[in-house]
Structure 1
Amino acid sequence: MKKYKLLFILLIQFSFGCQSQQQKINGISFVASGEKIIQKNVTPVANVSANYAALMPFGFIKNLAAPTINHNTNRQWFGETEKGIIQYGKLLQKNKIQLMIKPQIWVWHGEFTGNILMKSEEDWKVLEDSYRSFILTYAKAAEVLKAPIFCIGTELEKFALNRPRYWRHLIKEIRKLYKGKLTYAANWDEFKRIPFWDDLDFIGIDAYFPLTDKKSPTIEEFESGWNSHKKTISAVQKKYNKPVIFTEYGYRSVNFTGAKPWESNRVKDNVNLEAQINGYQALFNQFWKEKWFAGGFIWKWFHDYKKGGGLKNNRFTPQNKPVEKTIKQQYEN
C-alpha cells in the first residue's frame, strides 16, 4: 500500500512540475520614462496578472546609413539606460514579475529600423562594433538581473540578412556573459527569413500581421485572418523545433485595427474599443492553447497608469480600456 501511495505522490509532483514548465509568458512591454519607478507604477502590472515585463533600453542613430549607435548616455531617459533598466528590473522582480531585456534602436525621424543598410564595408564594420558595444552592455545588465530572456535585436532585417556571420558570432559572445535564454524580435514579415534561429532559444515575432480589412471586425473575422499566417509560423517552428514567442503583440482601439496593425500614425477621428477587444480575444483563442507557443508581450504599457490610455484613447495601450479585462481574464488562467 505504501508503494502505491508513494507512486501517487510522485505522479502528482510530476504533473505539477509539467504544468509549471508549460506556463505561458503573459507579458507587457513596459515603456521607459525619465524617472525611477516606484511601487505604484508596478502594482497595475501585477493587477492585470502579467508574469513578465519587457524592458527596452534604446540606442539612437542619425539615419538609415549611419553606422554609429549612441546609447547609455545622460541625455536619454533614465529608463532607457543601464542604470534605469536595473532599477526597473529589480522592482518588477520584487513583485514576482520576470523580465525580458529587449534593446532597441531608434532612427531619427522614426524611420523603420528594418531598412538600416550600410553603403560600404568600412561602415558595416563600424556598425557591427557599435552594435556589439550596445548589445553587450545590456546583456551584462540582463545577467546582473538574472533575467530569464534577453532579446539580441529588434526588427533589423537588412542588418540580419546582410551580415549573418556577424550575428552568429555575436550570439556566441552574448552566451559567454549571459546565462539565460535568447531570442530575436523579427518583424511579422521578416521572421521566416532570419538565418540564425537555430542559434537561439525562442523564435521571436513582433506579431502585427494584417488580418482583416473590416472596419470593426468580429472575433471570428480576426480568427479567419490568422489562418495563413499561423500555418507559416507553425512551419518555421517545426523547421527549427523552437518555441515561438510574440516579442510584441497588440491592437489599437481604432477602426480598421486589423488591416495594418503596425501603423501608429496619430489618427484622431475615431475610437473603436470593441475592435481592440476582438483582436486580442482572437489572438488568445488562436495561440495560447498551442504547446509550441510560449506566450508574448503586449504593446504597450506606461509607467503612469492613471494617465495611460482611457476610453477616448485610440492608441495601442490597453490601460484603462475595456480590453484590460479581457487581458486579465486570459493572463490569470
Structure 2
Amino acid sequence: MKKIALLILCILQFSCSGQGVGKINGVSFVASREEVAQGHIDEVVKVNANHAAIMPFGFIRDVDSPNIVFDTDRQWFGETKRGALQYIEMLHKNGIKVMLKPHIWISHGEFTGTMAMKSEESWQALEASYEKFILNYAQTAQEADADIFCIGTELEQFVKNRPGYWKRLIRKIREIYKGKLTYAANWDEYARTPFWEDLDYIGIDAYFPLSEEITPSIGQLKLGWKPWKEKIAALSDEKNRPVLFTEYGYRSMDYTAKKPWLVDLHDEKVNLVAQANALTAIFEEFWKEDWFAGGYVWKWFIRHKEVGGDQNNRFTPQNKPAQEVLSRYYRSE
C-alpha cells in the first residue's frame, strides 16, 4: 500500500513539475493597514510564487459620481502610493516581480463595471479624475521599477462609452511608464475590450462559470473550461497578444464554480475539495499553453497564519488544501 501511495505521489509531482516554468505564478497581495515585513514575504516565497499584484485604491461615492479620492491619510497604508512603494521594494528584495494594479472601490461595494455618468460634463470630470489617479500610479510603477502596470480593473461601461479616451490615456501612460501594460477585463467583458492591440497582455479576471455541481470533479471542471478556453485562445491569436489572468480564484464552498465571481457574504457550506479541484483544473488547462502568460490568484493576505483555514469559505487559498495545489503547480523545477 505504501508503495502505491508513493507511486501516486511521484506521478503527481512529475505531472505538475515544470508547468509553472516561465509563467507568471502570482498572488494578489492584499493591501493592509501596516507595512510589509520579511515574515509576510516569506510565506509568498514558500508557495513558490514569482509575482505579486499590488493593489492601491481610489474611492468613489457612487456609480454615477465622477470624483476619485486617492492617496490620502485616511486610507490604509497599503492602499496608498507610499504603501505600494514599500510593498514593491520588499517583494523585489526577495526576487518576486510585481504588477501594480490600482483599483477603484465604489461605496457599498457597487460593481465598478456599471460605473457610468449621466451627462457629458460628468464624463469629462470622470476622465480628468481617472487620468490623475492612474498617471499617479503609472509614475509610482516607474519609480519602483514595477514589472507590469495594469491601467484599470473591471470598468466595462467606462471603456464602452469612452473608447477614444482610453486610447489617448494609454499613450500618456506609456510616456511615463516604460514597462509592460495590461488591463483587467471582467470575464464577460474581455471580448469587447477595444484596445488590446495597444497593450502588452490581454488581461482577464477569470471568474468564468464552469459547473453547477456542488463539488465538481477536475474532469467536469476541465470540460466546463472547453468553450471558454477556445474563445480566449482565438482572441490571443487574433490580437497577437498573450493572455494574463489578472485575477483567478475560487471560494472554498459548495457550488464554487457556478458563479465564481460571488464576493458577498454568501453562506454556502465550506467545501475545501471544490476549491482545490477548481484550482487544479485551471492550472492543467492553461499553464501549459504557450499563449498563456500566467496569473494572480485571488487573494493573499499578509498575516498568513491568521487567515483562511478549514472553516473559511472565502477566496483565499491560505491554510487550506488549495494552498498545497498552488504551491505544487507554482513549483518551477
Once residues 321 and 95 of structure 1 are traced to their aligned partners in structure 2, the CA distance between those partners, rounded to angstroms, is 24
Matches within 5 A, 1:164-243: 164-243=163-242
Asked if the contact 2:252–2:314 (Cα under 8 Å) also holds between the matched residues in 1, the reply is yes
Once residues 268 and 320 of structure 1 are traced to their aligned partners in structure 2, the CA distance between those partners, rounded to angstroms, is 20
Instruction: Identify the residue that residue 113 of structure 2 maps to in structure 1.
Output: 114
The gaps in structure 1 that reach 5 residues or longer are 1-18
Task: Kindly state the Cα deviation for residue 269 of structure 1 after the two structures are TM-superposed.
Answer: 5.0
Task: Show CA shifts across 1:112-137 (max 9, x none).
Answer: 00000000110011000000000011
Instruction: Identify the residue that residue 257 of structure 2 maps to in structure 1.
Output: 258
Instruction: Identify the residue that residue 12 of structure 1 maps to in structure 2.
Output: none
Identity of aligned residues (%): 55
Instruction: Identify the residue that residue 96 of structure 1 maps to in structure 2.
Output: 95
Once residues 215 and 188 of structure 1 are traced to their aligned partners in structure 2, the CA distance between those partners, rounded to angstroms, is 22
Once residues 269 and 248 of structure 1 are traced to their aligned partners in structure 2, the CA distance between those partners, rounded to angstroms, is 22
Task: Kindly state the Cα deviation for residue 194 of structure 1 after the two structures are TM-superposed.
Answer: 0.3
Once residues 267 and 126 of structure 1 are traced to their aligned partners in structure 2, the CA distance between those partners, rounded to angstroms, is 36
Instruction: Identify the residue that residue 4 of structure 2 maps to in structure 1.
Output: none
User: Is 2:249 aligned against 1:270?
Assistant: no
- Could you list the structure 1 runs, at least 4 aligned residues long, displaced by more than 4 angstroms after superposition: none
Instruction: Identify the residue that residue 331 of structure 1 maps to in structure 2.
Output: 330
Residue type of the partner of 2:144?
A: L
Instruction: Identify the residue that residue 70 of structure 2 maps to in structure 1.
Output: 71
Residue type of the partner of 1:98?
A: K
Once residues 322 and 231 of structure 2 are traced to their aligned partners in structure 1, the CA distance between those partners, rounded to angstroms, is 28
Once residues 246 and 267 of structure 2 are traced to their aligned partners in structure 1, the CA distance between those partners, rounded to angstroms, is 27
Task: Kindly state the Cα deviation for residue 266 of structure 1 after the two structures are TM-superposed.
Answer: 1.5
Once residues 68 and 223 of structure 1 are traced to their aligned partners in structure 2, the CA distance between those partners, rounded to angstroms, is 42
Residue type of the partner of 2:137?
A: Y
Once residues 308 and 136 of structure 1 are traced to their aligned partners in structure 2, the CA distance between those partners, rounded to angstroms, is 33
Matches within 5 A, 1:46-57: 46-57=45-56
| Aligned partner of residue 62 in structure 2, secondary structure | coil
Please, which moves more after superposition, 264-273 or 290-299?
264-273
Matches within 5 A, 1:135-174: 135-174=134-173
Instruction: Identify the residue that residue 289 of structure 2 maps to in structure 1.
Output: 290
Task: Show CA shifts across 1:71-125 (max 9, x none).
Answer: 0000100100000000011001101000000001000010100000000110011
Once residues 114 and 236 of structure 1 are traced to their aligned partners in structure 2, the CA distance between those partners, rounded to angstroms, is 21
Would you say how many aligned residue pairs link Structure 1 and Structure 2?
A: 314
Instruction: Identify the residue that residue 10 of structure 1 maps to in structure 2.
Output: none
Once residues 177 and 36 of structure 1 are traced to their aligned partners in structure 2, the CA distance between those partners, rounded to angstroms, is 26
Instruction: Identify the residue that residue 44 of structure 1 maps to in structure 2.
Output: 43
Once residues 267 and 196 of structure 1 are traced to their aligned partners in structure 2, the CA distance between those partners, rounded to angstroms, is 35
Task: Kindly state the Cα deviation for residue 267 of structure 1 after the two structures are TM-superposed.
Answer: 3.1
| Aligned partner of residue 116 in structure 2, secondary structure | coil
Residue type of the partner of 1:55?
A: I
Matches within 5 A, 1:78-93: 78-93=77-92
| Aligned partner of residue 226 in structure 1, secondary structure | helix
Once residues 74 and 231 of structure 2 are traced to their aligned partners in structure 1, the CA distance between those partners, rounded to angstroms, is 42
Task: Kindly state the Cα deviation for residue 268 of structure 1 after the two structures are TM-superposed.
Answer: 3.6
Residue type of the partner of 2:280?
A: Q
Instruction: Identify the residue that residue 123 of structure 2 maps to in structure 1.
Output: 124
Q: CA RMSD in A?
A: 1.2
Residue type of the partner of 1:258?
A: A
Please report the TM-score for the alignment, with normalisation by the length of structure 2: 0.93
Task: Show CA shifts across 1:274-323 (max 9, x none).
Answer: 00010000000100010000000000000100111011101000000011
Task: Kindly state the Cα deviation for residue 37 of structure 1 after the two structures are TM-superposed.
Answer: 1.1
Once residues 260 and 60 of structure 2 are traced to their aligned partners in structure 1, the CA distance between those partners, rounded to angstroms, is 25
Residue type of the partner of 1:79?
A: G
Please report the TM-score for the alignment, with normalisation by the length of structure 1: 0.93
| Aligned partner of residue 150 in structure 2, secondary structure | strand
Instruction: Identify the residue that residue 322 of structure 1 maps to in structure 2.
Output: 321
| Aligned partner of residue 178 in structure 2, secondary structure | coil
Task: Kindly state the Cα deviation for residue 231 of structure 1 after the two structures are TM-superposed.
Answer: 1.1
Instruction: Identify the residue that residue 280 of structure 1 maps to in structure 2.
Output: 279
Asked if the contact 2:253–2:268 (Cα under 8 Å) also holds between the matched residues in 1, the reply is no
Please, which moves more after superposition, 197-206 or 229-238?
229-238
Instruction: Identify the residue that residue 31 of structure 1 maps to in structure 2.
Output: 30
Please, which moves more after superposition, 92-101 or 261-270?
261-270
Once residues 158 and 267 of structure 1 are traced to their aligned partners in structure 2, the CA distance between those partners, rounded to angstroms, is 26
